[in-house]
Chains A and B, each alone.
Chain A
Amino acid sequence: MSRMTALRASGALALCLVAAAATAQTTTLTIATVNNGDMIRMQGYTSQFTEQTGIAIEWVTLEENVLRQRVTTDITTNGGQFDIMTIGMYETPIWGANGWLVPLDGLSEAYDVDDILPAMRGGLSHEGTLYAAPFYGESSMVMYRTDLMEAAGLEMPEAPTWDDIRAAAEAMTDRANEVYGICLRGKPGWGEGGALITATANSFGARWFDEDWNAQFDTPEWEAALTFYVDLMNNFGPPGYATNGFNENLSLFQQGRCGMWIDATVAASFVTNPNDSSVADSVGFALAPDNGLGRRSNWLWAWALAIPAGTQQADAALQFIEWATSRDYIALVAENEGWANVPPGARTSLYETPDYQAVPFADMTLRSINAADPTNPTVDPVPYVGIQFVAIPEFAGIATEVSQEFAEVYAGQQTVQQALANAQALTNDAMEAAGYR
């Protein structure tokens, strides 16, 4: 019994301490964020924000899947646990439309909202109102090993086709030394493998839905896209690519195991950082490939900061968002870590900065972002907005299951045709349940 009272007493003491700490600090913001490099870097600088404003920050850093699960449950149950949430281009317009986010129309003059890249601003708005401020934005592009290309006697065009990619992958593959011509995502999850195959399918002229919301997986375009992808990866990809996502591929590329990697532009700063990457000085960049149909397979995405409507501290939250997504923050990171490490893809002014223009991937990143058109993602017209996603609430659930079907193809457990038939059935079923058809 005495142990229990002791425990209780110490618990009470701890509560008092916490309470004392809380009252000393006038405001504390709780921020949910993803454990990506740029966000973790930001956490290191928050003490500066606290010094300037007296607002303390409580970080809840979670892995992407867990983060989505947490913030979605919180927002739909009106939990109000977070003052700021890190969400993406997929969630923002949907949540904004539901009235779950505080509109960001109170941004200050100095913040200069017009400086945000138009593509990002468009993707983070609903009916013209901005609901989240981009912390960093990205498209996708080809990252390749200049040394391996040279050794193979090839040159990467600035705007390659999928055939160029295939030829280069074949030439660079050296299985004996565990060098694989190309690393692409296969990992199930709509934001992982699902994103890349959807963007790839766009360049083959495939689409998720026709204008009447009928699933389109039974079309020859999808079959061509998926067949090409599977064939490319089975021949020239790393073993077990069915479970590789962004992080797995990044780590493979940094270890020098990949000849090419088509993925988020934001990865460019990681693969060229000599501290983490063994191939830092031999990485080249090119636009994401097309298939001669006029659509490139590059996507558009932003990780952005939004204020849930349930918060009591919207003003302080806005203050933080202004700080974290400002030009000054970019300058602060540039000063301490170099221009290559600033959060990219959010502001026009960044790409007008001469110092940043000298960064090897800056130009290609901007061109990739500008080449992405979320309202016109593929060859045929579509009823939805979004390139590697479809901006409807049902998409995350459907696309996760579809990407699981595809991953089973990557793992050799079913055929392309089986997977597409399953995807077609489950998508139509879910769309019916949601009342589209």
Chain B
Amino acid sequence: MARAVSTRRKIATTALAWAIGLLIFFPIFWTILTSFKTEAQAIANPPLFWGFDFTLENYAVVQERSNYMRFLWNSVIIAGGSTLLGIVIAVPAAWSMAFVPSRRTKDILLWMLSTKMLPAVGVLYPISLIFVQFGLLDTRGGLIVVLMFINLPIIVWMLYTYFREIPGEILEAARMDGAGLKEEILYVLTPMAIPGIASTILLNFILAWNEAFWTLNLTAASAAPLTAFIASYSSPEGLFFAKLSAASTMAIAPILILGWFSQKQLVRGLTFGAVK
């Protein structure tokens, strides 16, 4: 049963937790707040928490300079595409690792993770040359493939931990009933694994959304996602805190909102089978 907690203790905990929560959130809050100030007010001393002229001007300026919707759309397509492609490739692999484990399963898993340690900049030239060769530069397809590769190990790992939690007896029973491999995966396993898959999709969508090395180096205009959008606001001439804040807010808002709404799934997704 729940521990009996004195009110005083609960008040203290509440105060402490809120203080820490607000402290951690403060940089984001401050950025959002600053985005609604004028440039002069953005650098006012002492800083203004209230009493400034609420303005949308910065958003208008940013939108006028760059077509936000196109960057946003590219981010959605690239992050979504790479995640879904990764899932399609990873589900069978994770399935076989979870249900037909061999002595080498763990080695393969860890090897997959280790491919993520390859420093991206070390292979910048090879990848760029390959992209030039195949005409993939500045295409969403090319980026989808690259980001899929980057996140595939994480996807396999996550799915593997979920699948492992599904009791094997259920599969045995399905097999007794004459289900083939295809039916087994499609009708028995997948429905049970939906929450896990959803969590995996979510986490990898976020990771792909925030990837800022390849998305910047392999795109120019037509496939450029929000990471490229923000690169044009990082240090313009003159006062720029307010405009930078507006651009930052625009870059992170979609994923922040998505993340908050799907918090529960994400939390489950983040456990990586750490919790048994």
Contact = CB atoms under 8 A, between A and B. Distances in A.
Contacts of A77: 125, 128-129, 132
Nearest to B230: A63
A18 B237 contact: no
A251 to B, nearest CB: 6
Interface residues of A, number: 40
B239 A276 contact: yes
A36 interface: yes
B262 interface: no
A255 B221 CA distance: 35
Interface residues of B, number: 35
B65 A276 contact: no
Given A63-B231, A63-B233, A276-B39, 6 more contacts: A14-B73, A40-B236, A62-B232, A64-B235, A66-B216, A276-B238
B128 A32 contact: no
B235 A81 contact: no
A250 to B, nearest CB: 6
Contacts of A80: 132, 137
Interface stretch (A53-61, A118-126, A227-235, A292-300): A53-61
5 nearest A-B pairs in the assembled complex, by CB-CB distance: A61-B232, A81-B220, A58-B221, A63-B234, A77-B128
Interface in B170-187: none
A60 B238 contact: no
A186 to B, nearest CB: 15
B148 to A, nearest CB: 14
B138 A35 contact: no
Interface string A37-80: 10010011000000000000011111110100110011001111
Contacts of B138: 81
Contacts of B240: 247, 251
A70 B129 contact: no
15 contacts: A7-B80, A35-B232, A35-B237, A40-B236, A59-B66, A62-B232, A63-B231, A63-B232, A69-B217, A73-B125, A80-B137, A81-B220, A247-B235, A250-B237, A270-B238
Given A4-B84, A35-B236, A81-B137, A60 B132 contact: no
A255 B41 CA distance: 12
A60 B66 CA distance: 9
B95 to A, nearest CB: 17
Nearest to B236: A35
A254 B125 CA distance: 41
Interface in A12-37: 14, 18, 30, 32, 35-37
A393 interface: no
A11 interface: yes
A255 B131 CA distance: 46
B81 interface: yes
Interface of A: 4, 7, 11, 14, 18, 30, 32, 35-37, 40, 43-44, 58-64, 66, 69-70, 73-74, 77-82, 245-247, 250-251, 254-255, 270, 276
Interface-centre pick from B231, B237, B240 (highest chain A CB count, 10 A): B237
Nearest to A63: B234
Contacts of A81: 137-138, 220
Contacts of A37: 236-238
Nearest to B40: A278
Interface in B220-258: 220-222, 224, 228, 231-240
Interface in B75-96: 77, 80-81, 84
Nearest to B130: A77
Nearest to B39: A276
Contact of A61 (B66, B84, B131, B237): B66
Contacts of B65: 40, 43, 61
A410 B236 CA distance: 24
A74 B132 CA distance: 9
Contacts of B20: none
Contact of B217 (A14, A59, A73): A73
Contacts of B125: 73, 77
